[in-house]
Structure 1
Amino acid sequence: MQYTTTYQSPLGKILLAADEIGITGLWFEDQKYFAWKLDSNHEEKEISVLKETKRWLDIYFSRKEPDFIPPLHIIGTEFQKDVWKILRTIPYGKTMTYGQIADIIAKERGLKKMSSQAVGGAVGHNSISLIIPCHRVVGTNGSLTGYAGGIDKKISLLKLEGAFKNSFYIPKHSTTP
């Protein structure tokens, strides 16, 4: 059974969803793929993991990096989960490109190349935005491409984290210079 509650952020209303395992969704109202993977049979009830997630959001929107992650229940394909795992390694205030993520996945799978577009599709279907920071993924040379919540929100989130004054994050296991 999934449970839902709402959170009023500085960028608009957010729907939170969770089950007994952890957070299953965090969506800005009216975003693309809103409530994707939300059970049609869910109950509006603020269980403890949802309260913990609201506390995480309070800290995050106060321009601080939360020092904890609420329990997550990540629902998706293996490829999506691999991409979302990499997203969780992007530090607060940093960005990474779709190409860098594709390079990491290719290397982990023993492939010569992985499609940046496939990575983009997985990033776009991330149901637990902010906590799994898909807003930190940018196009080549830092171009601000797609965000299910809207480019305006992506810009606001990156500004909130100070990402525009910080350099790109180059993961240790990346082949990108």
Structure 2
Amino acid sequence: MTTPVRLAEPGPGPTRYTTVGSVIGELLLTGDGTSLTGVYMGLDHRHFTGIGADWVPDPAPFRAVAAQLAAYLAGELREFDLPLAPRGTPFQREVWTALTTIPWGHTTTYGSLAHRLGRPTGSRAVGMANGRNPVSIVIPCHRVIGADGSLTGYGGGLPRKRHLLALEGLTLV
């Protein structure tokens, strides 16, 4: 298992953003100028509320993010090394931190993740927090599957989840 990533609190100031093309479609990247706060699969990504009026378009802080995402999507990178600061509740952040420990090429279930977090009856809450992960791909929520081994919901759509898992050598129904 990998070491969990420490999630920082988002910094002050306006949200910065840019878009990058990828093999799974356009990705919208957001950040605070220092840390990555979001990776959304287009403007139609579930739970994405839209670009804020005070957001600043600025590709400069996202060069390392874009390079690492491109390398991952090309099958050349297995672990990201980026400062992360997703916005969420303490419980959501606990779940997202746990997601960062799921190794490349492996999956887990919502129930297993809940049990590991000391909440054995909390699989639905874990699922909801997983679904609200704003840093898709980098915080690998795509590696969480149903108890029966099937693909379940994904903010970027099941075809993208299937693609990401296949990239990691996994084929699920």
- Alignment TM-score > 0.5, same fold: yes
CA shift for structure 1 position 161: 1.0
Q: Would the aligned equivalents of 2:78 and 2:104 in 1 still touch at CA under 8 Å?
A: no
Structure 2: 5+ residue runs without aligned partners?
1-13
Aligned match of 1:149:
156
TM-superposition CA deviations, 1:36-76 (whole Å, max 9, x none): 7x65411001133x111001111101112245421111211
RMSD of the alignment, in Å? 1.7
Structure 1 residue ranges, 4+ long, deviating more than 6 angstroms after superposition: none
Quick one: which of 120, 124, 139 aligns to 1:132? 139
Deviation larger for 76-85 or 27-36: 27-36
Aligned match of 2:128:
121
Structure 1: 5+ residue runs without aligned partners?
166-177
Compared with structure 1, are the counterparts of its residues 39 and 22 closer, same or farther at alpha carbon in structure 2 (3 Å cutoff)? farther
Quick one: which of 45, 48, 65 aligns to 1:31? 45
Which amino acid letter does the alignment assign opposite residue 37 of structure 2?
A: T
| Counterpart-to-counterpart distance in 1, 2:25 and 2:90 | 31
Q: Would the aligned equivalents of 1:56 and 1:66 in 2 still touch at CA under 8 Å?
A: no
Aligned match of 2:102:
90
Matched, 1:162 2:169: yes
TM-score computed with the length of structure 1 as normaliser: 0.83
Matched, 1:73 2:85: yes
CA shift for structure 1 position 34: 2.0
Which amino acid letter does the alignment assign opposite residue 90 of structure 1?
A: I
Which amino acid letter does the alignment assign opposite residue 158 of structure 1?
A: L
Q: Would the aligned equivalents of 2:30 and 2:38 in 1 still touch at CA under 8 Å?
A: yes
SS in 1 for 2:148: helix
Which amino acid letter does the alignment assign opposite residue 46 of structure 2?
A: K
SS in 2 for 1:12: coil
Aligned match of 1:56:
68
Q: Would the aligned equivalents of 1:3 and 1:19 in 2 still touch at CA under 8 Å?
A: yes
Which amino acid letter does the alignment assign opposite residue 124 of structure 1?
A: G
Matched, 1:44 2:38: no
TM-score computed with the length of structure 2 as normaliser: 0.85
Aligned match of 1:20:
33
CA shift for structure 1 position 31: 1.5
- Aligned residues, how many? 158
Which amino acid letter does the alignment assign opposite residue 9 of structure 1?
A: S
